[in-house]
Structure 1
Amino acid sequence: MRSPLPAARAALGAALAAWGAGAWARVTLLTGGSVLPPQNVRIDPSSLSFNMWKEIPVPFFLSVYFFDVINPSAILLGEKPQVRERGPYVYREFRHKDNITFNDNDTVSFLEHRSFQFQPDRSRGLESDYIVMPNILVLGAAMMMENKPMSMKLVMTLAFSTLGERAFMNRTVGEILWGYEDPLVHLVNKYFPDMLPFKGKFGLFAELNNSDSGLFTVFTGVKDFNRIHLVDKWNGLSKVTYWHSDQCNMINGTSGQMWAPFMTPETSLEFYSPEACRSMNLIYKEAGTFEGIPTYRFVAPSTLFANGSVYPPNEGFCPCRESGIQNISTCRFNAPLFLSHPHFYNADPTLAEAVLGLHPNPEEHSLFLDIHPVTGIPMNCSVKLQLSLYIKAVKGIGQTGKIEPVVLPLMWFEESGAMEGQPLQTFYTQLVLVPNVLHYAQYVLLGLGCFLLLIPILHQIRSQEKCYLFWSSSKKGSKDKEAIQAYSESLMTSAPKGSVLQEARL
């Protein structure tokens, strides 16, 4: 009777080969861009990534660096400003989405609340440190009065003197960031109630703490996956009115937290920033890894803050000064404030040369986002921006002295975050470890399956060759040949049921 072992091996080999081919298909699916089906990355309570969208599992930190003015008296006499960088003063940033409302047009609306908590162990200094910097209220108001009648300027000079306001101030880090009581603010709000957008304390980040970034309405991707995470409206607006062209006023991209999955090097990273009052577009730089997870790095193009003469599409952000700084006065109560990269990196060199103590370099002052291209989720990010004030002497306002026109940096800040802990481990296991195991398992299973398939084939061929050679090489008589042939045939065919073969003696 024929042994069942070869047939069993053949069946097992076929099964393993099929399993290996299936593993190959799954690995191709995982590594080829479909690690999560569309229904699992859309904004929907039933999707696997919904909780990650609702509570982003990345701890964010805000690091603030101040430009402490060393020679304020000399600046008033017309000398070049000299500054020294102080910081970082680091804050843990807490975010959570609230008022999540799903709409009928495939969108969801939400508010994202933010709060900040000082981190002494990460900081180089305390919130009680004193910083000398330009008095934005005085110098900003002076610039706004530049073209007003001389009589109004003289009244303002008298008001400043009465209130004890000067061109430079010496205040603590906490006051500068989160607000301080100023008699000028109370005076302006009393006689010009609609002139300032704030009523209480004045601080550079006072409106950010314990607040939200506005009502975002974004597409969920449930009905149209190609529009997932894109902003439909912000505070009910499909475009803003701060700028002088439709292109600059457009609200494009996402809300800046997650992007559409399945990215390629041709993908651009666009998002709307309420703080910058505009949409920003980052470009692909290179592929890399973060803690073993594959990423795409996106960086700011050199044209991000270029002026209209260097990059015509930015003409709508003007009136412009030197290239590399963006005038944001129209969305910051008309104060002559400018946004740029820290230390005027990637800007016209004359800006950094006009202030002693600035040292722009790409390693410390460029921004980047490392995104996992399959899911569109940020793994590691560092967004760095600088806030500066344009100051100069204004005739008729004595507090401005003889200040030479200059864009003086006030501070720069970095918002950074990196996935860590259990979310990172889960991400690595599902998106790196499992695909790698399947990647190698497919070859093992295919190889083992093919080997087991070959065993019965080789066994059959070997049996046929052995019997044939044994018969053909015999030199005995015809009766012996008949016996040998009968024996060899018995090796190749099953005996009829109930028959008995006689022993052949050779």
Structure 2
Amino acid sequence: MEGSLGAWRKVGVIFLIVGGILNMFFGIVTFIWTPFDVLMNERLKMVPGLPPFDWWKTPPDEVFLRVYVFNVTNGPQFLNGTDEKLKFEEIGPFVFLEKLQHDNVTFNDNSTMTYTATRTAIFRPELTNVDLNATLILPNLAVLGISSYLENSPFFAKIGFKFLLRRLDSKPFTNITVYNYFWNYTDPLLHTARKLAPFLVPVSNMGILNRIYSDFRDEVTVYIGPQNGRRFFNMDRFHGSPRFGYWSDERCDAVQGATEGVSYPQFLTRNDSLLYFRKTICRITPIYYVGDVVKEGMDAFRFELPDDIYDRYEDPEGDCFAGEYSEPLPSGLSDLSPCYYGFPIAASNPHFLYGDPSLIDNIEGMKPERSKHISFAEVEPTTGVPMESCARSQSNLVLTKLTGLPRSIEKFSGLVLPMFWAEYHQMSLPPYIYYLIYFTVMILPDLQAWMSVLMLIGGGGMLTAGTISVVRARRSKPLASYNSLDLGPSTSSSDC
């Protein structure tokens, strides 16, 4: 019994000493390499199976696409000369869930990661208050687009086009359902023109969402790893190239340093600017810090698209977004034609917000409003995770000087007609990501200091208790040994 008790005491002493040493060791280590730093570095490694990687690979259903189309309310009056200006009415929103998936992930030796990003749009009828089968009156993209495309074509080409218009009875306006406008926009002129001149009409379906999502698969290479914290998830390659592939001028075509908006670099400062990549607007756009906000109990930086992002500017090397037209596009427009088979389309802010006054003066129905039509991202600066972001842009049909064509078409000469505008809105984070970020940013920095102090104090206490036990055991050992000596049989004084 006493032997067992002694063995347990030895085990307890060893536990106190070893535990004390380990606690003090980890207390010192966590002061030097904090749990916060370790967690942030592990996130940069994008390790499969951990929350940052899994959340990125299959992002939650948090991005909604809202599309607004512009219905023409006075088409006949405009054509017969009763009204001098076209009148438009905004219809929508039509709400879709944009599903993003990342596949074919490859980790490269140079601290980059290559993957395929695929986007699809899923209609959400419960969030839409307009019927997809509703009929709209819209500018005929086939008739007017080809007319504008033929601006500098020879006279005989225009004669042939006029013949096609008469034979097919194609009009500058079309009655079309919203669904067909989105997904199945066809016209007899498209089919005939494509047979005669494939270079002029490379596709027969001009549905606006069909063109965007029919092949929305992109191979992207981004920077990862602890050494790339300040450029984490910035793009290095797009389809294997450091360039976008649409603009001859490298200044306007480079993609390096841009991001898809799923994540930004860590430890952002108020002096940072972010480069946002969105293929649908055919360019990289910078967003700049404008102020601090509080999102769900955490501080965030708000970045906004600058008001003059679509302005024309004077540059000796030229303005690549002015378009190759007889006259440069007015301020407020950015050429999209290289991304859409040369078709005369330009991007702008919704309702021509901050555009040249002529864009609004030549038509009616535009109601630009900053709070509804600007683009922004509100980013938690420590992790670089966007808490909320909203990218808004409008697509417009650019009509050049139309000459040598039917009078009903020449009436559109010089106009820029709004087609639709879209809003990509990431509204919030999934709960498990939010709580992980909240713990990392708001709790862990303070908690880790207390943890380190408690480990040092606890380790010191355990080591002290173990040391005292050893000292006491050593002091009591001689007395115990003396008391245990065998002195032989006892004698009395009478035996002497």
Contact 2:388–2:428 (CA<8 Å) still a contact in 1? yes
User: How many aligned positions are there?
Assistant: 429
Distance 1:177 1:57 in 2: 25
Question: Are residue 220 (structure 1) and residue 224 (structure 2) matched?
Answer: yes
Distance 1:40 1:174 in 2: 42
Distance 2:113 2:261 in 1: 15
Q: Deviations over 1:386-427 (max 9, x none)?
A: 111123662222150423522121111100012244235523
Structure 1 partner of 2:301: 296
> In 2 relative to 1, CA 290–243 (structure 1 residues): closer, same or farther, beyond 3 Å?
same
Question: Are residue 207 (structure 1) and residue 211 (structure 2) matched?
Answer: yes
Q: Which moved more, 1:323-332 or 1:422-431?
A: 422-431
Q: 2:149 aligns with which of 141, 144, 153?
A: 144
Structure 2 partner of 1:316: 320
Residue 319 of structure 2 aligns to a residue whose secondary structure is: helix
Residue 258 of structure 1 aligns to a residue whose secondary structure is: coil
Structure whose CA Rg is larger: 1
Q: Deviations over 1:423-475 (max 9, x none)?
A: 35523541355348739979x99xx99xxxxxxxxxxxxxxxxxxxxxxxxxx
Q: 1:44 aligns with which of 47, 62, 69?
A: 47
Q: 2:73 aligns with which of 64, 70, 73?
A: 70
Q: CA RMSD in A?
A: 3.4
Residue 37 of structure 1 aligns to a residue whose secondary structure is: helix
> In 2 relative to 1, CA 301–25 (structure 1 residues): closer, same or farther, beyond 3 Å?
farther
Q: How far 1:272 moved relative to its partner?
A: 2.4
Q: 1:108 aligns with which of 108, 113, 126?
A: 113
Distance 2:86 2:317 in 1: 33
Q: 2:425 aligns with which of 416, 430, 454?
A: 416
Q: Which moved more, 1:248-257 or 1:418-427?
A: 418-427
The residue type equivalent to 1:431 in the other structure is T
Q: How far 1:273 moved relative to its partner?
A: 2.0
Q: Deviations over 1:23-51 (max 9, x none)?
A: x9799985xxx584223233332655111
Residue 131 of structure 2 aligns to a residue whose secondary structure is: coil
Question: Are residue 236 (structure 1) and residue 240 (structure 2) matched?
Answer: yes
The residue type equivalent to 1:422 in the other structure is P
> In 2 relative to 1, CA 106–431 (structure 1 residues): closer, same or farther, beyond 3 Å?
closer
Distance 2:152 2:318 in 1: 26
Give aligned-pair identity as a percent: 28
Q: Which moved more, 1:318-327 or 1:427-436?
A: 427-436
Question: Are residue 91 (structure 1) and residue 104 (structure 2) matched?
Answer: no
Contact 1:27–1:439 (CA<8 Å) still a contact in 2? no
Distance 1:428 1:44 in 2: 17
Contact 1:114–1:212 (CA<8 Å) still a contact in 2? yes
The residue type equivalent to 1:397 in the other structure is L
Q: How far 1:258 moved relative to its partner?
A: 1.2
Q: 1:348 aligns with which of 342, 345, 356?
A: 356
> In 2 relative to 1, CA 136–70 (structure 1 residues): closer, same or farther, beyond 3 Å?
same
Distance 2:162 2:131 in 1: 34
Structure 1 partner of 2:191: 186
Q: 1:259 aligns with which of 244, 249, 264?
A: 264
What 5-or-longer segments of structure 1 have no aligned partner?
A: 1-17, 450-506
Structure 1 partner of 2:135: 130
Distance 1:145 1:55 in 2: 45
Distance 2:226 2:448 in 1: 31
The residue type equivalent to 1:410 in the other structure is M
Contact 1:220–1:228 (CA<8 Å) still a contact in 2? yes
Q: Which moved more, 1:281-290 or 1:248-257?
A: 248-257
Q: How far 1:64 moved relative to its partner?
A: 0.6
Distance 1:182 1:366 in 2: 34
TM-score, L = length of structure 2: 0.77
Distance 1:160 1:118 in 2: 35
> In 2 relative to 1, CA 420–116 (structure 1 residues): closer, same or farther, beyond 3 Å?
same
The residue type equivalent to 1:386 in the other structure is Q
> In 2 relative to 1, CA 35–287 (structure 1 residues): closer, same or farther, beyond 3 Å?
farther
Q: Which moved more, 1:315-324 or 1:72-81?
A: 72-81
Distance 2:189 2:318 in 1: 35
TM-score, L = length of structure 1: 0.76
Contact 1:130–1:173 (CA<8 Å) still a contact in 2? yes
> In 2 relative to 1, CA 29–347 (structure 1 residues): closer, same or farther, beyond 3 Å?
farther
What 5-or-longer segments of structure 2 have no aligned partner?
A: 1-23, 459-496
